[in-house]
Chain A
Amino acid sequence: MATLADAAVPLDGASRNAFVANLPRALTILVTAAAVIAPLSLILYQSFLSAPFFDAKKTFGLDAYRFIFDDPDFWSALRNSLMLAAGMTAIAVPLGALLAFVMERTDFPGKRWIEPMLLVPSFVSPMVLSFGYVVAAGPVGFYSVWATEVFGGVPWGLYSLPAMAVIAGLTHVPNVYIYASSALKNLGSDVEEAARTTGASPFRVATTVSLPLIMPALLFSAVLVFFLGIELFGLPLVLGDPEGHLVMSTYLYKLTNKLGTPSYHLMAAVAICIVAMTVPLVLLQRRLLQNARRYATIKGKAGRIRELPLGKWKWLAVAIVGFWLLVAVIVPLSGILLRAFVTNWGFGVSLVEAFTLDNFRAVFDEPTHVRAIVNTILLGTVGGALTVACYTAIGFATHRRNDGWSRVVDYMVLVPRAVPGLLIGLAFLWVFLFFPPLQPLRQTIFSMWLAYTVVWLAYGMRLISSSLMQVSTELEEAARTVGASRGRISREITLPLIRHGLLGSWLLVFMIFEREYSTGVYLLAPGTEVIGAQLVSLWQGGAIDVVAALSLINIVLVFIGLAFALRFGVKLRD
């Protein structure tokens, strides 16, 4: 008999208490539920009160809804929101699909370095981008002044509703591009070659073969862009203000001052109206995404993709891509870059003479601005790591468990997706005011972190679960059969295997936390300053110089994250 076959080793821990083993999971689910449900139910509760919840004279009823439904501004805001969302969808979807085709399928020159630039507008804060448009192409923007000097007039305006729709459409092209290009990646190029051999030009191949085949992905991204249009806040806040165009979110924001007293009940009613529009859209997106995935796997022959020669169409493609890059990336970013380094700008001002570093001195001389920068960096780095840790814990609570609790968590995670950051920030403000034990945390960066973590829950869980999905089931089963408990498998097998995915998630969470602005608007207080929310408040105060400098700092922070992500080969998209 072989030496190995001495007395079999007994396994300890087999009698482990099932209750203790399930405790971490139960706690995780409970905390997630509290963090998601508490703020939202508070909004719902508040919307049925006649006054703020701390007011002693409050009564239950539909007064708040009655008030806003009687307000003509509400209806015009609703109309504007729908028109803006429809307009930007009509612009972003065809353009995004076309760009995806050009980038994925053709011999377009310089694709490799253009591709990351295509994603830039989705990484820069919409607040910053909008501000960039104002200083670049507003009535006295850099490009407007130059155009006036050359042509004697400005052929564009920024502040009308159609102009906002165009800008929103162009800056949301990346959202379409991401889904269209991954759908194209999954599509074998043989179908296109077949069309070419029968005599179709590249343009006809795109419109009659490739794009119809990725229809499910395009449909999904159309709903996504429409949904983002309903949520839009920074852009209409900056560009809609001069001519007084309100959308749902800015209507809510302006309500704060409408009655002179805190009008929480009205804000809650508007918030519920917004959520009533976004929830169906989110559920629709979920349906469509599952459909698109199924479609992709059926078609996915994943053969080697050969490039389609553009031939004489090359110049048209270059013109379209170039125009988009100019309008959606170069104009706003260069505007901010220039504005951050001049004292003032207008007709007859020379860039060289107006050059200054005073804007940055002004930022660094003001302790609140310095705190905003430090807080933003801390939120992205330390906070981001904690956030990824929380998301990972939730991921493990549902990983390889196909029970009712997992489905509950799946839907719970989806809920914040339907609620714009502005509303979640507001809801958390109320949570901190409503529950006295939490009040001390209100003035700390923790409140900001909590709201950010809940706002980006759905996005973060997608990152975590795609990492978890890559761990083969058998690696975990192998650990079970040699005697490891669930907890130990998670810690010693699964966690080490997904560490690269977690690092990537951390970098992506860092970038979105640096970019975030709307969530902090209502939570902004001494001690909780962050750049994004600070920009909203400074913009309202008209401090253009400081806004420019802070915006540039914000962009630099995002780009540092982007550089790290590219360096470590993090996938920037699904």
Chain B
Amino acid sequence: MAELTVEDLHLKYGDNPILKGVALTLNRGEVVSLLGPSGSGKTTLLRAVAGLEVPHQGRIRIGEKTVFDGAARVDIPAEGRNLGLVFQSYALWPHKTVFDNVAYALKLRRISTADIATRVKEALAQLSLGHLAERYPHQLSGGQQQRVALARALVYNPPVILLDEPLSNLDAKLREEARAWLRELIVRMQLSALCVTHDQSEALAMSDRILLLNGGKIEQQGTPQEMYSSPQSLFTADFMGSNNRLTGKVVTIADGVAVLEGAGWTLHGAAKPSAKPGADGTAMIRLERVRLADGPGDNRLPAELSTSMYLGDKWEHLFHVGDASVRAYGDRPLAPGRQWLEMPRAEVWVF
């Protein structure tokens, strides 16, 4: 059942269009990530769902209730939408204790003091914040503040919880732990969550589904696996991972296999819809899919080793193939000079 439905949403600031017809659905117990570069409209979309931005066209439904309809002039204000929003900055009220921050939403709902105390304690305990109830926000660490912000958004059981870059204010090490913890919490509490992020690895790790936004439109959507391993456009392929790109001319396309020719090399790869015979094309392959080979063979390219970088768990090698540079991982340092690189046909996409 869809907890949140967005249809054909358009929004502009002045004359500047930010969202150009976005649609999405969020089902119960599902985590959907809005992913995209800055300026793609992902935060605007989240804020429009929350009621903090006013679209000029489209519909937003929460459960069965229409909260925005441009044509029917329905616009329920943010305070009437009963959603939970976790801000990027957490936006904890500095003049209220942790307890009061979390209790505020319940107070607004005229719940008795005794019930408020029980429910707030329960919520704080769920997020292991029980001992911090009397502290003020400035007395908490970044990770604790983030959990208070979550508790504040969850305590009144909103049908949908909106997360705006929930991890971006944490430092790198803490972020990975928080990511696992947040995913586990969402699954355990069966929350329906819409989460904005600009970090593709965060989106891959946290979500059931990813919506990739580009310039105010949805570029592609799907499960993390689909997004990563079968991108439909160059943009998606490029955004979802670390890639090598080789540009050349598409010679033929037959049975879904395209042949791309460059300066002194030829590659076979899966043809994507945008590839046309006779036109310029781009071959793309994930860094981790490039194999080091010991000699010529199918889809193998000769490459000059330029430099190697030690990354701790592996080596990253930089090669030159004609004018282009190609990177690949390896488990040991390489001798300088000519090497062969294998790019398996199934792993090469031609756009």
Which residues of chain B come closer than 8 Å to A485, judged between CB atoms? 79
Is the pair A4, B79 in contact by a Cβ cutoff of 8 Å? no
Q: Is A352 an interface residue (CB 8 A)?
A: no
Question: By the criterion CB–CB under 8 Å, are A12 and B109 in contact?
Answer: yes
Q: Are B76 and A11 in contact (CB under 8 A)?
A: no
Asked if A2 and B126 sit within 8 Å, CB to CB, the answer is yes
Please encode chain B, from 41 to 85, with 1 for each CB lying within 8 Å of some chain A CB and 0 for all others. 000000000111000000000000000000000001111111111
Task: Let me know if A493 is at the binding interface, CB within 8 A.
Answer: yes
B340: A residues at CB distance < 8 A: none
Chain A residues with CB below 8 A from B77, complex form: 480
B153 within 8 A of A: yes
For window 219-249 of B, CB contacts with A under 8 Å fall at: none
> Complex: how many Å from CA A14 to CA B80?
5
**A482, B89: Cβ atoms closer than 8 Å:** no
- B-contacting 9-mer, from A112-120, A266-274, A416-424, A469-477: A469-477
A372 to B158, CA, bound (A): 60
Measured between alpha carbons, how far is A475 from B88 in the docked complex, in Å?
Answer: 11
- Would A481 and B50 count as touching, CB distance under 8 A? yes
Shortest distance from the beta carbon of B193 to any chain A beta carbon, whole Å: 13
Whether A481 contacts B157 in the complex (CB less than 8 A), given A2-B126, A4-B126, A475-B93, comes out as no
Also in contact, A481 and B80, with CB within 8 A (given A9-B109, A11-B108)? no
Judging by beta carbons under 8 Å apart, are B94 and A497 in contact?
yes
Map CB proximity to A onto B74-111 as digits: 1 under 8 Å, 0 otherwise: 00111111111101010111110000000011101111
Q: Which residue of chain B lies nearest to A1 when distances are taken between CB atoms in the complex?
A: B190
Q: Are A483 and B91 in contact (CB under 8 A)?
A: no
Residue of A3, A472, A480 near B78 (CB, 8 A) is A480
CB contact list, A1-35 vs B, under 8 A: 1-14
Contact with A along B181-219 (1 / 0, CB 8 A): 000000011110000000000000000000000000000
Is B126 within 8 A of A482, CB to CB? no
Least distance between B78 CB and chain A CB atoms (Å): 4
A437 proximal to B (CB < 8 A): no
B153 A2 Cβ-Cβ under 8 A: no
B83 near A481 with CB under 8 A, answer yes
Q: Does A484 contact B (CB under 8 A)?
A: yes
- A474 adjacent to B91 (CB under 8 Å): yes
Q: Which residues of A contact B92 (CB under 8 A)?
A: 478
**Interfacial chain A residues near B81, Cβ < 8 Å:** 481
Chain A residues whose C-beta falls within 8 Å of the C-beta of B155 in the assembled complex: 4
Q: Does A496 contact B (CB under 8 A)?
A: yes
Query: Does B142 count as interface, using CB distance less than 8 angstroms?
Result: no
B190 touches A14 (CB 8 A): no
Q: Which of B52, B80, B104, B190 contacts A5 (CB 8 A)?
A: B190
For A254, what are the chain B residues with a Cβ–Cβ distance below 8 Å? none
Q: How far is the CA of A358 from the CA of B62 in the complex (A)?
A: 80
Q: Is the CB of A4 within 8 A of B123?
A: yes
A2: B residues at CB distance < 8 A = 126, 188-190
Is the pair A482, B87 in contact by a Cβ cutoff of 8 Å?
no
**Residue B152 at the chain A interface, CB threshold 8 Å:** yes
Whole-angstrom CA separation of A488 from B93 in the bound complex: 14
Decide if B347 is an interface residue (CB 8 Å cutoff): no
Minimum Cβ distance to chain A for residue B56 (Å): 16
User: Taking the complex as formed, is B156 at the interface, i.e. its CB lies under 8 A from any CB of chain A?
Assistant: yes
Residues of B close to A412: CB separation below 8 A: none
Most-contacted residue by chain B among A3, A14, A482 (CB, 10 A): A482
* Interface residue A479 (Cβ < 8 Å from any Cβ of B): yes
Contact with B along A444-484 (1 / 0, CB 8 A): 00000000000000000000000000001011011111111
A115 to B142, CA, bound (A): 39
B330: chain A residues within 8 A (beta carbon): none
Contacts of B79 in A (CB 8 A): 11, 14, 480-485
With A and B bound together, what is the CA distance between A484 and B103 in angstroms?
12
Q: How far is the CA of A13 from the CA of B108 in the complex (A)?
A: 9
Contacts of A478 in B (CB 8 A): 85, 87, 91-93, 152
Q: Kindly identify, within residues 156 to 198 of chain B, every residue whose CB is under 8 Å from any CB belonging to chain A.
A: 156-159, 162, 188-191
A5 to B79, CA, bound (A): 21
- Of all A-B residue pairs in the complex, the 5 with the closest CB atoms, nearest first, are A482-B105, A474-B91, A14-B80, A480-B78, A478-B91
21 chain-A/chain-B pairs, Cβ below 8 angstroms? A1-B189, A3-B126, A4-B123, A4-B189, A8-B156, A8-B159, A9-B109, A9-B157, A10-B82, A11-B80, A11-B109, A472-B91, A477-B50, A478-B87, A481-B79, A481-B85, A482-B104, A482-B152, A483-B79, A483-B156, A497-B94
Seed contacts A478-B87, A481-B78, A482-B108; 13 additional CB < 8 Å A-B pairs: A2-B189, A4-B126, A4-B157, A8-B82, A11-B82, A11-B109, A477-B78, A477-B85, A478-B91, A480-B51, A481-B50, A482-B104, A496-B95
